[in-house]
Amino acid sequence: MLTVATWNINGVKARIDSLTKWLEESAPDVVCLQEIKSQDETFPTEAVERLGYNVATHGQKGFNGVALLSKRPLEDITCRLPGDEEDEHARWIEATVSTDTGAVRVVSLYLPNGNPVDSPKFGYKLAWMDRMLAHAGELLATDEPIVLAGDYNVIPEPMDARHPDRWVDDALFQPESRSRHRALVNLGYLDAQRAVDRSEGIYTFWDYQAGAWQKNNGIRIDHIMLSPFAADRLESVTVEKHTRGWTKPSDHVPVMVTLDV
């Protein structure tokens, strides 16, 4: 079995205590972190390595940044989403993790927010998603199971928001964003969470403002998408909701899948 988790940590140095506590508690085999807000050289690598993890980062000072933590060796590490050499945002890292029966290609991704919609940020989001779709299609051509895990900044369906009407003007819920997310599904990737549970009220993000956590005004924007080879091996999905109630929490919570590989 291989457990793979994703967590937008919202500043790894500010939340290193929460991260190490959770790693000791849940002990995932592979962790995809987003929004580490740290350069590679300032990532708290030693604290994570003490818990038995190998670390690969694609960092950026002050914002963005992604990382992979793995109890198994990380091989063929690739940073940056292909398709735009001028894009300097640290939003994508991928690596191969060997298992007892083969290997899995794991991606940690941090999709652009895109707000406000009437700004260049929304165009950047959509262009980034188009690049992601192109590369995701290329990854399907390999013989490895593919795991695309991260903060997608997309609310796929109305059921993925406590109050969908409040998001109609937001980039996360625009038809263009959601249609590109459906295009990823149409390529052959499975939304792991919805494959096992179609219930309403499953959220992964609660804003810090207006008592969103206390009122459960959440949205589901952190997704683990599985290629057909990975989807065939899906055993379970858990949302580690309790971490949102910790001291100095991230506004996101971890999502974890178990794969029979």
* Annotated binding-site residue? 35: yes
175-187 helix and 120-140 helix, angle to the nearest 10 degrees: 0
Distances in Å between the Cα of 173 and the Cα atoms of 90, 153, 195, 207 are: 23, 9, 21, 16
* Annotated binding-site residue? 252: yes
Number of H helices, E strands in the chain: 7, 14
Amino acid found at 143 = D
Distances in Å between the Cα of 54 and the Cα atoms of 50, 180, 219 are: 10, 33, 31
Please say whether the beta carbons of 78 and 96 come within 8 A: no
Cα 217-219-224 angle, rounded to 5 deg: 150
* Annotated binding-site residue? 8: yes
Residue 147 backbone phi and psi in degrees, to 5: -120, 115
Q: Which of 29, 58, 89, 151 is catalytic?
A: 151
* Annotated binding-site residue? 100: no
Q: Which residues pair with 252 in a beta bridge?
A: 205
Q: Which of 53, 89, 110, 203 is catalytic?
A: 110
Q: Residue 103: enclosing H or E segment and its boundaries?
A: strand 103-110
Q: Is 252 a catalytic residue?
A: yes
* Annotated binding-site residue? 40: no
Q: Spell 108-122 as b/e; 16+ CB within 10 A means b.
A: bbbbbbbbebeeeeb
Q: Is 208 a catalytic residue?
A: no
**Which distant-in-sequence residues (6+ apart) come within 8 Å of 25 by Cβ?**
none
Please say whether the beta carbons of 10 and 259 come within 8 A: no
* Annotated binding-site residue? 115: no
Measure CA 238 to chain center.
Answer: 14
Joined together, the tokens standing for residue 88 give 């300097």
Q: Is 58 a catalytic residue?
A: no
Annotated binding site for Mg(2+): 8, 35, 151, 153, 251-252
The residues assigned a catalytic role are: 110, 151, 252
Annotated binding site: 8, 35, 151, 153, 251-252
